[in-house]
Structure 1
Amino acid sequence: MLIAATRAEFAKVFTTRIWWILLLILGAYVALLSGGLALLFGATSEGLLGASAGAQQMPTDGLAPTIYSTATSIGYVFPFLLGALATTGEFRHQTLTPTFLATPKRGVVLLAKAIALFLLGAAFGVVALACAVGAGSAGLAGFGIDTALDSSDTWAMIARSILAMAIWSVLGVGLGSIIPNQVAAIVIVLAFTQFVEPILRSVGALADWIGQVTKWLPGAASDALVGSSFYSVMGTGGTQLDWWAGGAVLLGIALIVTILGWLITWRHDVT
C-alpha cells in the first residue's frame, strides 16, 4: 500500500508544471550567485577591485566550500516551497477526497507524500549542487584559486547538502499539512526564509547568548548540517551546532511539523 501511495504522490507532482519551474529557477539562481561570488572574490584576491594591500592579500583558503554552499544556504527555499505546494495543492484542487477513498489510511498517504517529496528534494539538491559547483569552480579556477574538488571533505559537504535539501522538502510537506491555504503557506515560507530567520540570525551574531538560541532555527541547523554557509561571508553565521546535531535538529523539526499537520488537519474531514 505504501509503495502504491508513494507512486501516486510522484504522479501528482509530475502532472503539474510547478516542479520543473522551481527547478529551473533554482538552477539558474544558484549558478548565477555562486559563479558571481567566485568571480567577485577572485577579482578581489587579485586586487582588481581595489588597490589596497588588504584587498590584494585576501585569503582564499576554504573559499570554495563557502561558495558551493550557496546551493543550500540560499536555495533551500525551493524544495521547501515544493513540499508546501505539493501538499496545499491537494486542498486547493480537492484531490484529497479521491486519494483518501483509494487509500483510507490517511497516515499512509501523508507518509507516502513525505517519502516522495524527500526524494524529490534530494533531486533538487543534486541539481542545485551541480549548478553551484559547476559555476563556482569555473569562476575560482579562472583566478587560479583552489576549487577543493579533490578533497573528500568537499564531497562530504556536497552529500550533506543534498540531504539538507531533501529534509527541507519534508518540512514543506509538514507546513502544508498544518496550513492548507496555499497562498498563506507561500507567504509564510517566503517571509520566514527571506526575512524573519535572516534577521534573527543577524541579531544572534551580535551577542553570544542570542546566538545560542538562534542556532536552533531550521536554517541555522541546515547550515550546520552542511558544514559551510554563505552567511559566514556576511558575518551573520553566528554560533553553529555540530553537523550531526544540525541534521538531527532539522530532521526533528520536519518530523514534528509533519506530525502536527497530521493531528491538526490531515485527520479531519475534507471537502
Structure 2
Amino acid sequence: MNLVRAELLKLRTTSLWWIFAITLVPLYGLALGYNWLTATVITEMNVPDEGAFGFISLENIVSNLYTSGQFAGVLLVLLLSAILVTNEFFHLTATATFLTTPRRELVILAKMAVAMLIAVTVWVFTTALNLIFAPVALASMNQETYLDDSFVWSAISLNLLVHVLWALVGIGCGVLIRSQIGTTITLTVLYVVGTQIFTAVFAVLASQVDEVFMKLRVLVPTLASDLLVSGPQGPDDLPRWVGAVVLLSYAVVAGVLGTLITKRRDIA
C-alpha cells in the first residue's frame, strides 16, 4: 500500500495528469458527436437492424453511444500508464526507486495498481457523461433510453474492462521501451495510425488471399476492444469473448515480460 501511495504522489506532483485530463474533454466531445451523427444517419435510413450499412444492430448503435470516448480515453490511459514507468528513467529516479525497494516486481505491481486507478477514473468520467448525453441523443432520434436493457450495462461494464486491460498494456510497454518520448510517439502512432494500416492490410489479405483474414483482424488490439464492447458488427466478426481473450493476452504478455525485464535489467 505504501508503494501505491508513493506512485500516486509521483503522479500528482507532475503536470501530466491534468494536461491529459484537459485533453480528454474535447476528444470525448468529438467521439460523442461522431457516434451521435452516425446513429442519426442510420436511423433516418431506417436500418436499425440490418440493411444498407451491413450487419448493424440497434444494440451496436446504442452500445456505441453509451461507450462514447472509448478510443480517446483508452489512448490517454495507455500513454499515462506507460509514462508512470518511463518517468523514472526520464528523471533519473529509477535507481533510487529500485534501491529503496529491491524487489522490483513490487514496484511494477504498484505502478499497475495506479494505472488501473487511472483507467477506472477515466471510465467513470466518460461513463457519467454518456449517461447524460446518450439518452439525449436517443431522444433526438425518437428512441427510448434503453437503460432498462441489460446489453447497455453489459457494454458499459465491458468498457471498464477494456480501460483496465489497456492500462496494463501501457505499463508493460513503458518497461519495454523506457524512453519517454520514444514510448509516447510509438504508442500513439501504433494506436491511431497503426489501427487504420492493419485494418487495411487485413482487408486486402481477405480479398486477395483468403476471407479468413477478415476474422483475424481482431488481432488488432483496438479492434479487439470494439468487438468486446459493441459485439459483432459484421458477418465476419468473431464472438465478443474473442476480443476479451485477445486484449487480455496483450495485457498479460506486456505485463509479465515487462516485469521480468525490469528484474534483470541494469538500471544504474
TM-score (norm 2): 0.84
Residue in structure 2 matched with residue 268 of structure 1 by the alignment: 265
* Cα distance, 1:74 vs structure 2: 4.5
Cα offsets for 1:62-85 (capped at 9, x unmatched):
322122333324532111111111
Instruction: Give 1:234-249 correspondences, 5 Å limit.
Output: 239-249=236-246
Instruction: Give 1:38-187 correspondences, 5 Å limit.
Output: 38-39=36-37, 41-42=39-40, 45-46=43-44, 55=45, 57-59=46-48, 61-62=58-59, 63-187=61-185
> What CA distance in whole angstroms lies between the structure 2 residues aligned with 1:25 and 1:139?
23
Instruction: Give the CA RMSD over aligned residues.
Output: 2.4
Alpha carbons 1:171, 1:257 under 8 Å: kept: yes
Of residues 172-181 and 147-156 in structure 1, the stretch that sits farther from structure 2 once superposed is 147-156
Alpha carbons 1:225, 1:243 under 8 Å: kept: yes
Structure 2 counterpart of 1:242, which letter? P
* Cα distance, 1:158 vs structure 2: 0.2
**Structure 1 residues 238, 267: CA separation in 2 closer, same or farther (over 3 Å shift)?**
farther
> What CA distance in whole angstroms lies between the structure 2 residues aligned with 1:43 and 1:227?
18
**Structure 1 residues 238, 69: CA separation in 2 closer, same or farther (over 3 Å shift)?**
farther
> What CA distance in whole angstroms lies between the structure 1 residues aligned with 2:250 and 2:139?
38
Residue in structure 1 matched with residue 218 of structure 2 by the alignment: 215
Structure 2 counterpart of 1:85, which letter? I
TM-score (norm 1): 0.83
Residue in structure 1 matched with residue 248 of structure 2 by the alignment: 251
Q: What is the count of residue pairs matched by the alignment?
A: 254
**Structure 1 residues 248, 266: CA separation in 2 closer, same or farther (over 3 Å shift)?**
same
Alpha carbons 2:63, 2:151 under 8 Å: kept: no
Of residues 63-72 and 117-126 in structure 1, the stretch that sits farther from structure 2 once superposed is 63-72
Cα offsets for 1:200-254 (capped at 9, x unmatched):
124434623222322122222222221348xx5xxxx684443333223212211
SS in 1 for 2:265: coil
Residue 227 (structure 1) aligned to one of 221, 230, 233: 230
SS in 2 for 1:215: helix
Alpha carbons 2:31, 2:69 under 8 Å: kept: no
* Cα distance, 1:265 vs structure 2: 4.5
Cα offsets for 1:176-213 (capped at 9, x unmatched):
00000111111111111111122212443462322232
Residue in structure 2 matched with residue 49 of structure 1 by the alignment: none
Residue in structure 2 matched with residue 20 of structure 1 by the alignment: 18
**Structure 1 residues 238, 79: CA separation in 2 closer, same or farther (over 3 Å shift)?**
farther
5+ residue gaps, structure 1: 47-54
> What CA distance in whole angstroms lies between the structure 2 residues aligned with 1:148 and 1:134?
13
> What CA distance in whole angstroms lies between the structure 2 residues aligned with 1:102 and 1:164?
33
5+ residue gaps, structure 2: 50-57
**Structure 1 residues 34, 202: CA separation in 2 closer, same or farther (over 3 Å shift)?**
farther
> What CA distance in whole angstroms lies between the structure 1 residues aligned with 2:38 and 2:76?
25
